[in-house]
Chain A
Amino acid sequence: MANKFQSKERRLFGVGIQGWIKGFFSGNAGVSMGVIFLIFLFLVFEAVRFFPDHHRELKLVRRTGQEYVDFLRREARGYQEISSYTNQAYFQELDARFGVQRGLVDGFEVLQGMIEDGAEPEIEALAEARDVSDPVALRAAEKRYWGRVGEIVDSAERSSVDSFGRLSTEESAWQSLLQAARRYDAVEEETPDLILAAEARTESGMAEFRKAKTMISSAGSDLKNLRDRLVRIASATRKDAETDYSLGMRKKALLEGSGKLDGKAREEQIAEAEALKVLDQFPFEVRVQPIIDSHDEHQKAVEHLKEQLKKGIAALPTEFSSEASKKLVMKIREAEPAYLEALDQSLEEASEWTWNEEVNWSSSVSRFFLGKEWKTASGGWRQLYGFLPLFTGSVTISMIALCFALPFSIGAAIYVNQLSSRWERSFMKPAIEMIQAIPSIVLGFFGIMVLGNMLVEYSDSPWVSWLPGFPITQRLNMLNAGMLLALMAIPTIFTLCEDALNNVPRSFSEASLALGASRFQTVQRVVVPAAISGILAAVLLGLGRIIGETMVVLLVAGNRIAMPDWGDGLGIITQPSHTMTGIIAQEMGEVSEGTLHYRALFLIGLVLFVVSLLINLSAQKLTKRLGAHV
């Protein structure tokens, strides 16, 4: 029998078969190594090019005067807020004082709409009959009309007409409203006296407040008009500049392409290129002039706004029937000085602004990492790539998830590893580890279909409604996402924690038990402290898993790209938010390759990559420290 392992050595290109086999394996190892480094390279390659593009964009924003207009926009936004609070306060007060009257007016409007919709043919017939003035037809038409109106009014239910419930306890007012509606002539469209009286009463009762309100709400009209005008100018400049740029690109491409052609085709292409009118230098200076010229007007508008606002706020009432209204007015009074100061500051910055100043390179970076607004290329005023709201969203959700995951996963790890019976351990460990297999999309589905509705439904029960941010009105929010992500992190933290606890030498706990400690005391004072760095590493890796999760947050977190409303305190956990992973998943499909937006998404990808790497590395460091201890 021949030796099983004997073989003839054949050679190819001077390398033996063994060499080729080795080459094959090392080649494959090279491929996997290459791919791993390519990931990093590709991310960096696409991401880094964001900054020069962003710089160009910022420069364009300055040259077109959009930057200047942003001063006005910011001023107007602050004013809008005060104006909005005033309106809220006014209506709250109105409701408190003249709820029944408002109920009548609103309710009548609803009934009127119902009649107009429901009796459309009858109204038309009636109008026609009145025009012709044929008494027989008129009578028939009137009879039909009133009959139909009666039906409609009879069928009107209080809950659907008076959906604010202002009349729910006012039986007599409700009846008189129905009465008025029954007599409503939809052809003449005459408002009944009852309603007119109610309107008059509210009007006279709220005269003082209304005057203040009007003063406030008209204070900013100059500023807003100026803003709208400048927005139009700057947008037009921007659009023309971009068109010019595209035409230039096209011309360049055509001329370059013509080099490859010859004869007639070449001439045609050159002619086509020459026909494109491209400006050598886009005349920003001329286009931005009206914006610069508007500075005086801007100043005047702001002065006017300040004056009127001060007057208006001073004229706001001091006595209230409604608690909510009182609070709102107090809020306005508190916000006033800060806003006025901000106005001055903004005006000062605006007067120092120059259109041709160079844009700092560092601002290309800092506007990304510190920017608070994310507005992408699709329509709108200008592109803003502010990373902060996405980052805050990711971090907030992760913190919520960790808050839920930590006690449960570590607690479970300690229980399963140290305190449980053998029988419990045999099913608990695999069961908790099995959670890892639940795909994230299934959890997202559960969040949107079940958990969100549950949160909304049960959050206004007296047991929990005192919690910050409760009762919840929208089912897509950070709390919902955080709870689901906690479930995803639990198996990771649990498994690693359990390993860490397992790695604590048996002698530690034996010594403690021998000293007379109970099982629980041993766990509490010996085993857990000994495993603490392993537990920390587990928590870190759990965090890594949470922060990188996409589908759950995309479906469930609510996708609001804004900084959380810190005014709610801890209540921010029930606000919706967008995340780093979510934005990539949501916007990658719409971007063209090589655009600023495309690169911004890659930059976020790079940040995620680096964050996960840092988390991983520090977890490894921690585990190593554990090894040194034990």
Chain B
Amino acid sequence: MIKKTTTAFALGLLFSLPLAADPEKLVIMGSDTLGSKLVLQLKEAYMTLGRDTEFEISAEGSSQAFANLLAGEADIGMSSRDAQEEEANRFLAKGKKLVEHAAGWDMIAVIVNEKKGVRKLTLKEIEGIFTGDIMDWSELGGKPGKISVYTRNTASGTFQIFQRLAMGGRDYSASSQKLAGNEQIASEVAANENGIGYVGLAFIDKKGLRAVKVDGVSPSPKNKGKYPLARKLFFYTAGEPKGSVKKFLDWATKSDAAKEIVAKVGFISVK
């Protein structure tokens, strides 16, 4: 008897209410610079507004955004660099189009340990350090010590745009360490006297670190236009955004509340 009831119940559950619907959710993937702080707070604020939207956010690096947008796994890609030609080509080959939405401005700050006397570096020196031409702090006039170069992992947009802006497109030195996030670079540089690394503006405000002046300009929102390592941050979609994606992007890129969050986190909002 019990068996029959259970079977009937199970069958009923499976087939009696044939209402098909897919839940609404925004899958956001990509840059750690955006995703480990800014987008989390945008999400929280957006959900507090009472919008019934579910989010799935993962942030391993900008390349993740393009790979997953292409595969249809992500709705919105976060990127701290513009799309490479190669990536755009891949979208083209599939008959899709990448659409970019400006999320804000950022500066890549070069950070050193506070105990290190280095306060400013020229772009030339930075190129030398990150490509491995300069191997020891004594070459820059500092206390001798082998330089530990901390870079982001290869998926990162910061990794690539820094290569373009500061290293003349040259390869990173083989002895650079590839860490998975701005915060991890900040922690390691703060813990290692001979360390040097780079992070986005939102991550320089930490103990034990010093952001050096690059060519005499320090990274700070007020030096916008002067600081040489500035870059734009983007949201990307595959094709023009529609529905909930559009609603969220409009809010995140245009509303005052979102701009306030962008500024609070440490980035510079777009006009």
Contact = CB atoms under 8 A, between A and B. Distances in A.
Given A92-B144, A379-B84, A559-B177, A80 B133 contact: yes
B136 A163 contact: no
Interface in A164-184: 164-165
A473 B93 contact: no
A186 B168 CA distance: 34
Given A380-B163, A453-B191, A475-B188, A84 B155 contact: no
A163 B117 contact: yes
Contacts of A559: 153, 177-180
A51 B174 CA distance: 24
Contacts of A228: 168
Contacts of A110: 117, 119
Interface in A55-87: 77, 80-81, 83-84, 87
A87 B64 CA distance: 40
Interface stretch (B192-200, B235-243, B250-258): B192-200
Interface string B100-121: 0000000000000001110110
B143 A586 contact: no
Contacts of A231: 169-170
B8 interface: no
A239 B66 CA distance: 18
Most A CB atoms within 10 A — which of B95, B171, B194? Answer: B171
Interface string A537-565: 00000000000000000100011111101
Given A590-B63, A593-B71, A474 B180 contact: no
Interface string A98-117: 00001000100110010000
Given A163-B115, A473-B192, A379 B159 contact: yes
**For chain A, which range describes its interface: under 10, 10 to 19, 20 to 34, or 35 or more residues?**
35 or more
B75 interface: no
A562 B175 contact: yes
Interface in B113-145: 115-117, 119-120, 132-136, 138-139, 141-145
B90 interface: yes
A381 interface: yes
**For chain B, which range describes its interface: under 10, 10 to 19, 20 to 34, or 35 or more residues?**
35 or more
A246 B93 contact: yes
A507 interface: no
Interface string A119-138: 00000000000000000000
A247 B92 contact: yes
Nearest to A378: B154
B193 A473 contact: yes
B244 interface: no
A253 B64 contact: no
A474 B192 CA distance: 5
Contacts of B169: 231, 235, 379-381
Interface in A237-264: 239, 242-243, 246-247, 249-250, 253-254
A376 B188 contact: no
Interface in A138-171: 162-165
A560 B93 contact: no
Contacts of B64: 589-590
Contact of A589 (B60, B117, B138, B144): B60
B133 A474 contact: no
A113 B143 CA distance: 20
A404 interface: no
A591 interface: yes
Interface string A27-54: 0000000000000000000000000000
Given A586-B153, A586-B178, A378 B160 contact: yes
A113 B171 CA distance: 32
B141 A590 contact: no
B168 A591 contact: no
A380 B171 contact: yes
A308 interface: no
A287 B151 CA distance: 34
B26 to A, nearest CB: 18
Contact of B132 (A80, A92, A578): A80
B132 A587 contact: no
B89 A254 contact: no
Interface in A217-238: 228, 231, 235
Contact of A84 (B120, B134, B164, B178): B134
Most B CB atoms within 10 A — which of A249, A476, A565? Answer: A476
Interface string A354-380: 000000000000000000010111111
Contacts of B146: 473
B154 A376 contact: yes
Interface string A438-452: 000000000000001
B70 interface: yes
A157 to B, nearest CB: 13
Given A163-B117, A589-B64, 7 more contacts: A88-B135, A110-B117, A164-B142, A247-B93, A474-B148, A474-B177, A560-B174
14 contacts: A84-B134, A84-B136, A88-B135, A95-B138, A163-B115, A246-B89, A246-B90, A247-B89, A247-B93, A250-B95, A474-B148, A474-B192, A590-B60, A590-B153
Interface of B: 58, 60-61, 63-64, 66-67, 70-71, 84-86, 89-90, 92-95, 115-117, 119-120, 132-136, 138-139, 141-146, 148, 153-156, 159-160, 163-164, 168-172, 174-180, 188, 191-195, 213
Give the top 5 A-B pairs by smallest Cβ distance, nearest first.
A163-B117, A590-B155, A246-B89, A379-B160, A590-B63
